[in-house]
């Protein structure tokens, strides 16, 4: 087990087997290679493509249907999260 201080930069909205299953996207707070990133838009362009593909592929291996609907910045995700 490992505990890492992290900074939320956004979220990925997805539907897993017809249930909402949002994923929080964060960077390691003490890792100099990523801790300067504050928003999803600051990630390298291929990173969001890789995240989407990873979740779609690993759910397929579990014979589950998943739909990645959108990526949200942290402000939009927090507004939706706090309404729940």
- Is the whole-model pTM more than 0.75? yes
What is the percentage of the chain residues whose pLDDT exceeds 90?
Answer: 49
* Residue 45 confidence (pLDDT) above 90: no
Give 42's strand partners.
Answer: none
DSSP label of 33:
T
pLDDT digits (tens, 9 = 90+) for 50-76: 999 998 888 888 888 888 988 988 776
Q: Please state the rounded mean pLDDT for residues 21-34.
A: 93
Concatenated DSSP letters of 36-77: T--SGGGS-HHHHHHHHHHHHHHHHHTT--EEEEEEEEHHHH
22: left (phi over 0), alpha (psi -120 to 50) or beta: beta
Q: What is the mean pLDDT of the chain?
A: 87
């Amino acid at each position: 087990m490992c505990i890492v201080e992290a900074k939320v930069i956004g979220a990925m909205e997805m539907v897993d087997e017809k249930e909402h299953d949002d994923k929080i996207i964060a960077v390691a707070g003490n890792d100099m290679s990523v801790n300067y990133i504050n928003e999803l838009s600051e990630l390298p362009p291929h990173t969001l493509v890789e995240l989407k593909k990873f979740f779609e592929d690993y759910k397929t291996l579990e014979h589950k249907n998943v739909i990645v609907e959108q990526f949200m910045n942290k402000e939009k995700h927090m507004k939706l999260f706090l309404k729940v």
